[in-house]
Amino acid sequence: MLNQILPLYGILPVKSNIQLFGDGLINHTWKVTTENAGYILQKVNQAVFKKPQDIDQNISRLKAFLNRKHPEYLFISPITDTTGKSLIETSEGYFRLFPFVEDSHSLNVLSKKEEAYEAARQFGRFSMLLNEFDVDQLYITLPDFHNLTLRYAQFKNAVLHASPERKKRSKELISFIEDNYSIVKTFDQITANHEIPLRVIHHDTKINNVLFDRYDKGICVIDLDTVMPGYFISDVGDMMRTYLSAANEEETDFSKINIRTDFFKAIYDGYMQEMGSVLTETEKGYFIYSGKFLIYMQAIRFLADYLENDVYYGSKYEGHNFMRAENQITLLKRYQEAEPLLRSLIS
Ligand code: ADP
Ligand code: GN1
Ligand code: MG
């Protein structure tokens, strides 16, 4: 199939090197290298994104706005084929081609607090530059993606229908999630509070969705499939989830999961550098809550997937999603312990 797609862009497959690329969990990604240039070819995961055309439309509207208002901003969008299409429909699904950002790399864990600052600043900059963009112009590419109330209900449903073995193994994790239901209640207060606006939110600020240069400076954000109207807690929360700990969601030795408070301060400084003058005082009051919100939601999503036999995230070994859920619950416990200290750092 790739051999049929590349010629649509004037690329000769025989003269290209095509390699699977990156550690994304959702789409299929290849790096295509030709004599003259590098590209990222992607097959959109249609089990997750039912309407890839909506993503394409969103990206094109954001691009038009940014080109008009902030032409200096590096916005990575799909290249058009020889007929002008930025999304290719085939019998095997939807494909798109991006320019490869040369001399860039992504990280799966952060080793320096400066990287956390850079990444947080890139995501903050993205929302800040789009502050004037009318959020109603964006399609909802994943309905209820970060709706914690619904995620909790889906999780309860997954518990109800799980196999007896998976349910038994998950007993303690299920109890922990139920005992921390107050995190859902706070989310309900946020959605009911009109002082907390819907903004242009990336919704997947995990660390491998930002590109760095060879000096570890942030270049730009990528993976724009989930850019939708949302709350800032989604973006800041996923930064806390993926930048604070020295070990990431794949770590099976939970003693390595920690909260690096200096990285927390770097996230705060980087994000606020861009969004400090945009966020309302009410929003700022939820900065620390955002970490609990997102880590808890990710634990729920991994555990629900384990209980539903790994239909969403897949599983590379027996119990993979169970382990990821336990990992995230450990992270949440460490975060809750660190909360008073985090509060003192930004008060
Ligand atoms: P997924 O939705 O599966 O996470 P991504 O769009 O994040 O897919 O792409 C997967 C990985 O490919 C990224 O983490 C990054 O390492 C790399 N990548 C994606 N787009 C580009 C690009 N334009 N230039 C360089 N690398 C990229
Ligand atoms: C997925 O696509 P990727 O790998 O950047 C997921 C995120 C999860 C993350 C967990 C559309 O992100 O919501 O937080 O995995 N994206 C989707 O690693 O479900
Ligand atoms: Mg990604």
pLDDT value of position 22: 86
Please tell me the distance from the alpha carbon of residue 40 to that of residue 101, in angstroms, as a whole number. Answer: 9
pLDDT value of position 261: 97
In this predicted model, what pLDDT tens digit does every residue of 79-102 receive, in sequence order?
Answer: 999 999 999 999 999 999 999 999
CATH number of 113-346: 3.90.1200.10
Q: Which residue has the tokens 């394409």?
A: 56
Please tell me the distance from the alpha carbon of residue 234 to that of residue 281, in angstroms, as a whole number. Answer: 17
Q: In the chain, where are the structural domains located? A: 2-99, 113-346
The answer to whether the CB of 226 is under 6 A from ligand 2 is yes
Instruction: Out of 28, 211, 224, give the residue to mutate to test ligand 1, the one with the largest number of ligand atoms within 8 Å of its CB.
Output: 211
Sequence-ordered list of residues with C-beta below 8 angstroms from that of 22, at least 6 positions apart, any chain: 29, 106, 208
pLDDT value of position 251: 97
**Residue 48 CA: which ligand 2 atom is closest?**
11
pLDDT value of position 1: 82
Residues 204/145, Cβ–Cβ less than 8 Å: no
pLDDT value of position 24: 77
pLDDT value of position 91: 92
**Residue 26 CA: which ligand 1 atom is closest?**
3
Residues of the chain with pLDDT under 50: none
Tell me the CA–centroid distance for residue 231 and ligand 3, in Å: 20
> Which ligand has an atom closest to residue 242 CA?
2
The answer to whether the CB of 24 is under 6 A from ligand 2 is yes
In this predicted model, what pLDDT tens digit does every residue of 283-294 receive, in sequence order?
Answer: 999 999 999 999
Q: For residue 147, which amino acid is it?
A: N
pLDDT value of position 193: 87
HSE toward the beta carbon, residue 75, CA cutoff 13 A: 25
pLDDT value of position 195: 82
Instruction: Out of 206, 236, 250, give the residue to mutate to test ligand 2, the one with the largest number of ligand atoms within 8 Å of its CB.
Output: 206
In the structure, which protein residues have their CB atom closer than 6 angstroms to any atom of ligand 1? 21-22, 24-27, 29, 40, 76, 98, 100-101, 104, 106, 208-209, 211, 222-223
- Adjacent-strand bridge partners of 96: 42
Residues 82/8, Cβ–Cβ less than 8 Å: yes
pLDDT value of position 244: 97
For 321: left if phi > 0, alpha if psi spans -120 to 50, otherwise beta; the answer is alpha
- Adjacent-strand bridge partners of 174: none
Please tell me the distance from the alpha carbon of residue 198 to that of residue 234, in angstroms, as a whole number. Answer: 11
CATH 3.30.479.10 fits 2-99, yes or no: no
